[in-house]
Structure 1
Amino acid sequence: MKLEGVPDGSPVFIDSNIFIYYFTAASPSCHAFLKRCAAGVVHGVTSLPVLLEVAHRLMIIEAQQKGLVRGSNPAERLARSPEVVRKLRAYEEWTLAIPRMGIEVEEVTFQDLVASMAVREKTGLLTLDAMLVAVMARLRISSLASADLAFSRVGGVTLFPPGDMTA
């Protein structure tokens, strides 16, 4: 199944890469999907850790696009350049726009952390991805919008990747 196939009216959890591809104009499929969420056709849900990942990655992308960091390991370069970080604003606007797009943002609980450890053990997913699956389970959401095909090995999760991108 592809992102375009998310059924109308259904809840779907949204991974960070969908937002990043949208804000960087890398994927018409992600753009169309998030427009469906904004119109209320699909009930988009994400979590605070996903928004933190989006903010982090968009900050780096903004710094690169503005030519403020170059070379390998841009996150490390930014960490050593607080004067550059203070100049960055677009990533904040993009991140704060997500709830205004009709996307519900769920907080994460300690119980989600505990549940994510069992998910990680069973699936081999990394920490943040396992947390995403644990939050989905708590919310009883089985559909996931993500370009990360690692989620295809998670039982009970229906993955909807964008047809024009894969992580």
Structure 2
Amino acid sequence: MTLEQLITQTLAGLNYELVDVERSGNGLMTVFIDHIDFEAGKPIMIDDCEAASRQLTYVFEVENVGYERLEVSSPGMNRPLRKLSDYARFAGLEANIKLKLSVDGRKNFTGKLQEVNEGADESAQLGLVFEHEGAEQLLEFGLADVDKARLVPVYNFKGKQK
């Protein structure tokens, strides 16, 4: 069982999903989590991170997973997009996409994610509408073509309106 599979299985028992895992050279392992039932719109709170951290620490000890320090966090406002379900969930929102290979001399694109067809599998074509030279264009790509993808943060500061 891989590390990601172990973490995914452990988090599923707590009703969380694995968003991403990052390991750094100094032994730090950062695990980003979200609620499995993301439709509820409930954000990840410190209690959620604490519960996941406690369970993962126990599992890592039993499974002999090497690490120096464990951090559990929410994915944040610039959430990474890694799975097909992420693209389906966040369709209509703005994202930064970096492709592995260039398209027309570019690898980086920012635009609005397009709907993903229901029943699509990992080989499905994804879409991003972006503006280039004053005109909207559609970039079609597969999940395997993506090097990195993140949502563009939307800041909504409440305050005095003019």
TM-score, normalised to structure 1's length?
A: 0.22
Q: Which has the larger radius of gyration?
A: 2
